Amino acid sequence: MAYDEEVALRVRNALARYTPIEEKKMFGGLAFMLRGHMCVGVIDDELMVRVGLAGYEAALSTPHAREMDFTGKPLRGFVYVEKAGFNSAAGLSAWIGRGTKFVLSLPLKSSPKRKRRK
């Protein structure tokens, strides 16, 4: 699986005001990590948004959103959003807002410590 570079660029630009942002290849696409937590991602030409358990049902009731079923079993707290759901700048901003709002409610994740070789 790959990810749409144009969608990734739009997400990158939408997240520019948040720091620190790290990009990682995950789930067969590109994940954007905020403060050490996965916030949003791009898989093919769709968004993957982390909305948390409290925001999950509301997110699913939004047009163009569906369960994230990466392994065949829904991953609660995460949704996929079809391109039609974020084609507009306002639509993308709304989904980025859901993801960042949830992640900013989490404690800052510290960097993993590397084991020293003997």
CATH number for the domain that contains residue 39 = 3.30.1460.30
Specify the pTM.
0.88
Give residue 1's pLDDT. Answer: 56
pLDDT tens digits, residue range 82-106? Answer: 999 999 999 999 999 999 999 999 9
Instruction: Report if residue 115 sits inside a domain.
Output: no
Those residues whose C-beta lies under 8 Å from the C-beta of residue 111, and which sit 6 or more positions away, are 36
Specify if 41 maps to a domain. yes
For residues 77, 107, 37, 66, the Cα torsion angle rounded to the nearest 10 degrees is 10
Q: Does 25 reside within a domain? A: yes
Structural domain that includes position 89: 5-104
Domain-embedded: residue 49: yes
29 lies in some domain: yes
Please state, in angstroms and rounded to a whole number, the distance separating the CA atoms of residues 115 and 4.
Answer: 35
Residue 110 in domain = no
